[in-house]
Amino acid sequence: MRRRPWPTRVRLTLIAVGALLTVLAVSDLVTLRLADSVVSLQALAELNTEVDLIAGGLNWDGSQATLGGQPLPATTIDGTPLEVDLVGPASLLFATRQPSLSAAQMRDLAAQARHQGPDETIVVDNRGRRRRVAWKALDPDVAGAGAVVLVHGVLPTGVYDGPSWLPPALAIVSLVVVLVGGGATYWTAGRVLRPVSEIAATARALSERDLHRRVETPVPGDELGQLVATLNGMLDRLERSFASLRSFTADASHELRAPLALMQAEVEVALGQERPAADCEPVLRSLQDGIAHLARLSDHLLLLARADARTLAPVPQRIWLPEFLDEAADRWQAAASRAGVELVVEAPAEAELTADRMLLRRVIDNLLDNAVRYTPPGGRVHLRGVVTPDGRRIEVEDDGPGIATEDRTRLFTRFARLEDARTPGTGGAGLGLAICAAIAEAHGGRITVVDGCKAGARFVLELPTR
């Protein structure tokens, strides 16, 4: 069973506590080390003071060493035990206690005192204890030439030599800081993450029927503000997409229902009467036309669905543009003649492009179908190819009633019909221009509509060279 992850609030608190512990541990160690160094320097200063004091007032009568008529001190000023050794050129002359240093150590230290002057060092005595030893050579008139006084004390064997109250005090302070810092982090993280919880609750409560709702949680203009703006923008897009889907579904149902109802009525009439087989031919032809219409509509819907799913992948082919435009004009010349419309081709002398021939042919056929349909008898339809620095442009211009500027924004939407602006009663399902826009987008181009040279409309298909 997979373990449930800890909440973000707890994880942030643990990270903050871990960082505090690390910083406090380092600072406490530095503080203890500094305190230890201070104590060590104080002990050294006291040892050197004792050396100067004893060397300056030592009296030696050949068997007993005194300091101002008093025995040599056995402790420092603050009560730390110490030992004093009086070493002559040949051997130990006097010691306040049983000598702790070996004869060889005393000779070496005395030699350093004679040649180097006052100094101090750390040695290990006869019992294996660490000692700090300070020394100073005496005047010849005190104990003879070459006499040296050694003052030394046992160093503590612990890691820390500072005040005993300092480690527990630092531990208590560090614990308080960690508790306060952890609590403050937990509270702050809760305040910061509270809008996120409210946003999540709002998102969970949304459904396809509530896409009009928006996240109203007050947040500052930082990352949380960007998150709220992004979520609301996504809801806007989803609402528009669902509205478009509902409209598309309703329009598609209407387009399919009308021919199906008509076909069903004709079949019922035909089945309800006894008639010769020859009399059924008109009904069958009507059914054939209805089936062809439904097949075209289904094909259009399938292409648009593929475009929505980003699976409309053109098969690139090299197309010679003048030949392609001439072929399109030949296909529509008969329909234009029946409508009393002149079809004029204006192709560049040399130009080619890379595109899916079948899809591009579908776009041109849709545009020419509209142009021929909406151009009055005696008018002209221009099919034009233009070479541009960015690619190729194909234009289809008619002499029809044109398209109002306010209608051009919805011209390429699905099931859009502008019979109020164009010739009434000639509109199809309203999918042709939507299919043109989808194919153009799949090729990396676009299709737009502008005013024609006269009163009509001019559709401009722009395609990249490749």
Q: What are phi and psi of 77, to 5 degrees?
A: -60, -35
What value does the mean pLDDT take over residues 417-436?
60
pLDDT at 426: 46
CA distance 410 to 405: 10
* pLDDT at residue 421 greater than cutoff 50: no
**Hey, what amino acid is at 418?**
L
Lowest mean pLDDT, pick from 178-192, 222-236, 343-357, 444-458: 222-236
The burial of 128, by beta-carbon neighbours within 10 Å (0-12 exposed, 13-18 middle, 19 or more buried), is given as: exposed
Domains of the chain with CATH codes: 8-154 (3.30.450), 208-311 (1.10.287), 317-464 (3.30.565.10)
User: What is the torsion angle, in degrees rounded to the nearest 10, for the CA atoms of residue 101, residue 102, residue 107 and residue 110?
Assistant: 0
pLDDT digits over 67-120, tens only?
777 788 877 776 778 888 888 877 777 788 888 888 888 888 888 887 777 777
CA distance 216 to 401: 48
CA distance 343 to 196: 63
Closest residue by Cα to residue 341 from 322, 309, 369: 369
What value does the mean pLDDT take over residues 349-354?
85
101, 128 Cβ separation under 8 angstroms: no
61, 77 Cβ separation under 8 angstroms: no
pLDDT at 427: 47
CA distance 89 to 81: 26
pLDDT at 423: 40
Structure tokens at 100: 């702790």
* pLDDT at residue 272 greater than cutoff 90: no
Q: How many CA atoms lie within 13 A of 92 on its CB side?
A: 16
More confident residue, 198 or 422: 198
Beta bridge partners of 138: none
pLDDT digits over 361-378, tens only?
989 998 999 899 888 998
pLDDT at 420: 47
pLDDT at 425: 43
* pLDDT at residue 37 greater than cutoff 70: yes
What value does the mean pLDDT take over residues 119-131?
81
pLDDT at 326: 92
Lowest mean pLDDT, pick from 39-43, 421-425, 451-455: 421-425
pLDDT at 94: 79
More confident residue, 195 or 15: 15
Q: Give the pLDDT band (50/70/90) at residue 158.
A: low
Judged by phi (left if over 0) then psi (alpha if -120 to 50, else beta), residue 425 lies in left
More confident residue, 217 or 95: 95
CB crowding 115-125: b at 16 or more within 10 Å, else e: eeeeebeebeb
pLDDT at 460: 92
pLDDT at 367: 92
* pLDDT at residue 139 greater than cutoff 70: yes
**Hey, what amino acid is at 291?**
I
Mean pLDDT computed over every residue of the chain: 79
Within 255-306, strands assigned E span none
Q: Give the pLDDT band (50/70/90) at residue 416.
A: low
What value does the mean pLDDT take over residues 161-166?
70
What value does the mean pLDDT take over residues 410-434?
62
- What is the model's pTM? 0.50
pLDDT at 194: 79
What value does the mean pLDDT take over residues 4-24?
85
Q: Give the pLDDT band (50/70/90) at residue 396.
A: very high
Give alpha helix (H) positions in 159-205.
166-205
* pLDDT at residue 422 greater than cutoff 50: no
* pLDDT at residue 383 greater than cutoff 90: yes
Beta bridge partners of 268: none
Structure tokens at 263: 């076909």
* pLDDT at residue 332 greater than cutoff 80: yes
